[in-house]
């Protein structure tokens, strides 16, 4: 810290000194120091819950520090609101965009701009600036019609219109295809050349190595290291973030591939919600002992596909879906479970698990309908055998390392990673023959993610067919035997994992395999 | 006056209270609040307007009193739902019941007393034109106010920053809050506006329509206004058209009955609701329609996270 501020005090834009933030008795940030320099991309690294968001919210005025100070261009400032931060020249692109779907691009931007920047022809300035930076946007377009990447452009253009000196980006590539991410990086490089500073929050270490000049690493609210990301390797960065070396998922070659256990053939399904995606001619096969991963940017029909395969939406009189050799379109989710399938949806809270119910009650919810011989859970017709549920809860807790405040805790009291381990454990404990799992490790820390991935691999090697839906290419390459890509409700053909590069997957995410896209493009 | 003129005049008279109450509720719902208490606010406006006019002898003071009675009742709704975070549906119903009861209490001494009628506008020469004179230039002032309010609301919602903020708050209150807009304050203001127009609608009943106080004299018009807002898909122009359509159907039905055409009155009074259900079905089958105008956070309370 010291040598830096001595060398180039001129270029220090924002400095955070001994800042702490307490929520109750819990220190989300504990005496952190950080300095950001003009013309550099500064990475802020850490696992979920490490305190990155808390720190950034204090810089952006959305939270007030419990103690410590913030210095902007050498002056002590107390940033009391996001508007104040914007006036200073701090812009922020949030991970979850604060956009209004039913309003146009220009209206959205106008809402977020201070009065003096709204004068004149805002639409024209939006169009000009977005062209200039290679972020094409139509100011009159309705946000609801735009892709996630385009929505992010709105946020970036909105920030750029205010000519920020510091741009904070919270996990900006989490929702982008690799190609979109590269385009974002060139915009960032140009901004930095123009003298802007960027604070880049991420847990994708390769990216950080690619574009960042400095890196600050947080763990459990404390600063653990300030490093030069160009010198470090992804492995050493990961080690600093986690505090221990991360367990590598071990995966044998799948030489035990057997019969097709899950098959979709020419599946069509119109969306049942206003903003949903229609599924068009989806074909896939998953064999015993095989893991098929479906890659794709969120919101391209993965949720719809999951609900059709799981039976949350059943379609009697169709025969698109075959589970363990039986046409299953008309079966509801419990009937499909009884065939030997298990499902883990994307949303932990409210979909996989009920927040206010205890863990044993949550076990009951997904397992009450079928008498499982494997786990000898026999709930019977009358009454619920609490002892049996408690035993099962204990087994899942031990097998999947679920950390909880008490044995039969309320689901809502578990942290995200632990709840996900519980939910996955609840389903895997049945030894399902077919497992469909949507975003298995979304928002889960590295340790829990490794445990879940290993459990999924082990299940497949015992002869189950597994379908993973994921946005995380690292995860897909770590787990998948075969890969298919989803975009706008269409699924690409399935490829062996070794035959695909990240770039090819990126192109398919952007729709290169779509039939209608090829037709209209010609 | 020709019979057609008379029919048109009564249609306007029947439609204006619906339009007044509904245009306010449209703004309230655009800001994301569902106030089911229109009936209660209207009837409070009716009784306070009548009482003030009867005591002072001035119909205009009655109109002003009615407006403030509507605002006061709506602010009670605002206090409960926006500050104390009660359920909006339950609170709205409670406001309706409270208004009906309280107005009965306030009005118990005014039953059967003569009222003061708000005078019609009279413009020399213009108001005496054949056919259109009475219709266009000789209405009571509240008719013109209701039309001006409708045009004003349409303009403000679509062409001004205030309107943009109201729509943003109704679309996504969390985002609006994150951008620094005061969600609760905006909603309070919209609720008060809705209360004011509902009060005016009540004044119309007790100072123009039938210048006297009768208990429960709103007779379900608040519910029709509520249905109208949904029927209009939250668009002011469509709302005005719907108000005159509902008013027209009602009056034509009365005339038809008078002439001995056998339409059961129950069927007529259910018509606005049937039309609203049809409108809902049409809205829900059309993605864009439901997307653009439906306030996405309608009826959800907003609790800031700190």
DSSP string, B137-178: ISS-HHHHHHHHHHHHHHHHHHHSHHHHHHHHHHH-HHHHHH
Interchain contact, B290 vs A275, CB within 8 Å: no
B273 in any annotated domain: yes
CA distance B82 to B184: 6
Radius of gyration of chain B from its Cα atoms, rounded to whole angstroms: 19
Residues A90-103 have pLDDT tens digits of 998 876 677 888 89
- Output the average pLDDT for chain B: 89
Give B233's DSSP letter. T
The band of A5, judged by pLDDT with boundaries at 50, 70 and 90, is very low
pLDDT score at A371: 64
Interchain contact, B172 vs A98, CB within 8 Å: yes
Residues B155-191 have pLDDT tens digits of 999 999 999 999 999 999 988 987 888 999 999 999 9
Residue of B nearest to A108 (CA): B168
Give A250's DSSP letter. P
Is pLDDT above 50 for A521? no
pLDDT score at A378: 57
pLDDT score at A522: 31
Interchain contact, A111 vs B292, CB within 8 Å: no
More confident residue, A239 or A74: A74
More confident residue, A219 or B187: B187
Superfamily per CATH, domain A2-242: P-loop containing nucleotide triphosphate hydrolases (3.40.50.300)
Interchain contact, A101 vs B172, CB within 8 Å: yes
Per-residue 3-state assignment (H helix, E strand, C coil) for A365-402: HHHCCCCECCCCECCCCCCCCHHHHHHHHHHHHHHCCC
pLDDT score at A102: 87
Superfamily per CATH, domain A260-521: P-loop containing nucleotide triphosphate hydrolases (3.40.50.300)
pLDDT score at A343: 94
Highest mean pLDDT among A116-130, A247-261, B29-43: B29-43
CA distance A187 to B2: 73
B86 in any annotated domain: yes
The interface residues of chain A toward chain B in range 61-90, judged by CB-CB distance below 8 A, are 62-63, 81-83
- Output the average pLDDT for chain A: 84
pLDDT score at A380: 56
CA distance B157 to A26: 45
Predicted TM-score (pTM) above 0.90:
no
Interchain contact, B290 vs A81, CB within 8 Å: no
pLDDT score at A7: 43
The band of B114, judged by pLDDT with boundaries at 50, 70 and 90, is confident
CA distance A247 to A254: 21
The band of A417, judged by pLDDT with boundaries at 50, 70 and 90, is confident
Residues B283-301 have pLDDT tens digits of 777 766 666 778 888 888 8
The band of A8, judged by pLDDT with boundaries at 50, 70 and 90, is very low
Closest Cα in chain A, distance from residue B281 (Å):
13
B279 in any annotated domain: yes
Residues B57-71 have a mean pLDDT of 96
CATH number at residue B60: 1.10.3470
Is pLDDT above 60 for A517? no
pLDDT score at B82: 94
Radius of gyration of chain A from its Cα atoms, rounded to whole angstroms: 25
Give, in order, the Cα–Cα distances in Å from B291 to each of A99, B28, B35, B190, B275: 14, 18, 21, 21, 21
Domain count, chain B: 1
The band of A246, judged by pLDDT with boundaries at 50, 70 and 90, is low
pLDDT score at A117: 76
B118 in any annotated domain: yes
The interface residues of chain A toward chain B in range 37-66, judged by CB-CB distance below 8 A, are 62-63
The band of A244, judged by pLDDT with boundaries at 50, 70 and 90, is low
DSSP letters, B9-63, are: HHHHHHHHHHHHHHHHHHHHHHTT---TTHHHHHHHHHHHHHHHHHHHS-HHHHH
Closest Cα in chain B, distance from residue A274 (Å):
5
Query: Which stretches of chain B sit within 8 Å of chain A by CB?
Result: 161, 164-165, 167-168, 171-172, 174-176, 178-181, 287, 290-294, 296, 306
Residues A471-498 have pLDDT tens digits of 888 889 889 999 999 988 899 999 998 8
Residues of B in contact with A81 (CB under 8 A): 180
* Mutation for A interface: B179, B282, B297, most A CBs within 10 A: B179
Residues of A in contact with B294 (CB under 8 A): 102
Q: Percentage of chain B surpassing pLDDT 90?
A: 61
Topology agreement, domain A2-242 and domain A260-521: yes
Interchain contact, A100 vs B171, CB within 8 Å: yes
Is pLDDT above 50 for B216? yes
B304 in any annotated domain: no
User: Where exactly are the structural domains of chain A?
Assistant: 2-242, 260-521
B301 in any annotated domain: no
Both structure tokens of B177? 């809050």
Residues of B in contact with A96 (CB under 8 A): none
B197 with B41: CB under 8 angstroms? no
A161 with A126: CB under 8 angstroms? yes
User: Domain span at residue B29?
Assistant: 3-293
Is pLDDT above 90 for A376? no
Residues A117-143 have pLDDT tens digits of 777 788 899 988 888 887 888 899 888
Closest Cα in chain A, distance from residue B198 (Å):
28
CA distance B50 to B52: 6
Is pLDDT above 60 for B306? no
pLDDT score at A2: 38
pLDDT score at A313: 87
The band of A518, judged by pLDDT with boundaries at 50, 70 and 90, is very low
3-state SS class at A14: strand
Interchain contact, B181 vs A99, CB within 8 Å: no
Residues A274-317 have pLDDT tens digits of 567 889 999 999 999 999 999 988 778 888 999 999 998 888 88
Q: Which of A304, A293, A342, A298 is nearest to A467 (CA)?
A: A293
B303 in any annotated domain: no
Residues B228-259 have pLDDT tens digits of 998 888 999 999 999 998 888 888 877 877 77
Give A162's DSSP letter. T
Determine the number of helices (DSSP H) and then strands (DSSP E) in chain B: 13, 0
Is pLDDT above 70 for A379? no
pLDDT score at A389: 86
- Residue A250 C-beta-side C-alpha neighbours within 13 Å: 1
Both structure tokens of B260? 């001995």
């Amino acid at each position: 810290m010291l040598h830096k501020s001595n060398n180039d005090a001129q270029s220090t834009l924002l400095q955070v000194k001994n800042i702490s933030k307490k929520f109750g008795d819990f220190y989300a940030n504990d005496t952190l120091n950080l300095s950001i320099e003009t013309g550099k991309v500064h990475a802020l690294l850490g696992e979920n819950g490490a305190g990155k968001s808390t720190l950034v919210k204090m810089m952006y005025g959305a939270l007030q520090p419990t103690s410590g100070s913030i210095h902007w261009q050498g002056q002590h400032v107390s940033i009391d609101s996001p508007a104040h931060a914007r006036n200073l020249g701090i812009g922020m692109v949030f991970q979850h965009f604060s956009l209004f779907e039913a309003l146009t691009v220009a209206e959205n931007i106008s809402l977020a701009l201070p009065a003096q920047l709204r004068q004149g022809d805002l639409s024209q300035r939006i169009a000009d600036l977005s062209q200039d930076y290679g972020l094409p946007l139509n100011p009159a377009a309705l946000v609801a019609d735009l892709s996630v990447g385009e929505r992010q452009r709105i946020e970036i253009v909105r920030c750029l219109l205010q000519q920020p000196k510091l741009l904070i980006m919270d996990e900006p590539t989490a929702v982008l295809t690799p190609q979109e991410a590269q385009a974002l990086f060139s915009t960032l490089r140009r901004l930095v050349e123009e003298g802007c500073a960027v604070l880049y929050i991420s847990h994708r270490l390769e990216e950080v190595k690619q574009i960042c000049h400095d890196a600050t690493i947080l763990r459990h609210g404390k600063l653990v290291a300030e490093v030069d990301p160009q010198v470090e390797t992804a492995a050493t960065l990961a080690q600093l973030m986690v505090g221990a070396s991360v367990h590598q998922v071990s995966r044998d070659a799948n030489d035990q591939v057997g019969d097709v256990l899950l098959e979709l053939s020419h599946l069509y399904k119109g969306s049942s919600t206003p903003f949903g995606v229609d599924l068009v001619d989806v074909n896939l096969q998953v064999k015993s002992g095989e893991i098929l991963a479906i890659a794709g940017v969120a919101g391209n029909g993965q949720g719809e596909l999951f609900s059709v395969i799981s039976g949350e939406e059943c379609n009697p009189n169709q025969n698109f879906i075959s589970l363990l050799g039986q046409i299953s379109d008309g079966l509801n989710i419990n009937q499909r479970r009884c065939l030997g399938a298990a499902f883990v949806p994307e949303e932990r809270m409210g979909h996989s698990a009920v927040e206010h119910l205890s863990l044993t009650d949550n076990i009951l919810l997904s397992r009450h309908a079928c008498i499982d011989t494997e786990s000898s859970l026999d709930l019977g017709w009358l009454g619920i055998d609490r002892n049996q549920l408690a035993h099962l809860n204990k087994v899942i807790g031990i097998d999947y390392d679920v950390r909880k405040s008490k044995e039969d805790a309320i689901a809502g009291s578990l942290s995200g990673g632990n709840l996900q381990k519980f939910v996955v454990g609840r389903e895997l404990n049945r030894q399902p023959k077919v497992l469909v799992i949507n975003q298995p490790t979304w928002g889960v820390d590295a340790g829990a993610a490794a445990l879940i991935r290993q459990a999924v691999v082990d299940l497949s090697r015992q002869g189950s067919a597994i379908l993973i839906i994921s946005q995380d290419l690292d995860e897909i390459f770590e787990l998948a035997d075969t890969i298919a890509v989803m975009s706008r409700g269409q699924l690409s053909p399935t490829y062996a994992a070794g035959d695909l590069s990240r770039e090819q997957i990126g192109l398919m995410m952007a729709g290169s395999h779509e039939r209608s896209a090829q037709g209209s493009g010609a | 006056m020709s019979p057609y003129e008379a029919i048109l005049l009564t249609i306007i008279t029947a439609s204006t209270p619906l339009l007044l109450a509904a245009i306010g509720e449209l703004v309230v719902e655009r800001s994301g609040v569902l106030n089911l208490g229109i009936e209660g606010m209207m009837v409070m406006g009716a009784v306070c307007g009548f009482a003030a006019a009867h005591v002072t002898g001035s119909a205009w003071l009655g109109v002003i009193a009615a407006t403030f009675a509507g605002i006061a009742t709506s602010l009670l709704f605002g206090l409960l739902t926006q500050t104390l975070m009660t359920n909006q549906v339950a609170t709205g119903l409670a406001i309706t019941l409270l208004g009906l009861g309280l107005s009965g209490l306030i009005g118990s001494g005014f039953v059967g007393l003569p009222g003061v009628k708000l005078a019609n506008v009279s413009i020399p020469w213009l108001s005496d034109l054949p056919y259109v004179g009475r219709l266009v230039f000789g209405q009571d002032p509240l008719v013109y106010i209701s039309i001006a309010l409708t045009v004003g609301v349409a303009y403000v919602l679509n062409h001004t920053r205030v309107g943009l903020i109201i729509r943003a708050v109704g679309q996504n209150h969390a985002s609006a809050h994150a951008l620094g807009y005061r969600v609760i304050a905006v909603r309070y203001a919209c609720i008060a506006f809705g209360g004011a127009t509902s009060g005016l609608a009540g004044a119309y009943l007790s100072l123009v329509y039938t210048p006297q106080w009768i208990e429960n004299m709103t007779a379900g018009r608040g519910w029709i206004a509520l249905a109208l807002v949904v029927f209009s898909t939250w668009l002011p122009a469509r709302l005005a058209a719907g108000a005159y359509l509902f008013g027209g159907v009602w009056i034509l039905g009365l005339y038809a009955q008078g002439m001995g055409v056998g339409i059961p009155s129950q069927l007529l009074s259910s018509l606005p609701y049937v039309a609203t259900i049809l409108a809902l079905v049409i809205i829900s089958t059309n993605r864009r329609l439901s997307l653009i105008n439906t306030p996405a956070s309608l009826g959800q309370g907003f609790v800031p996270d700190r």
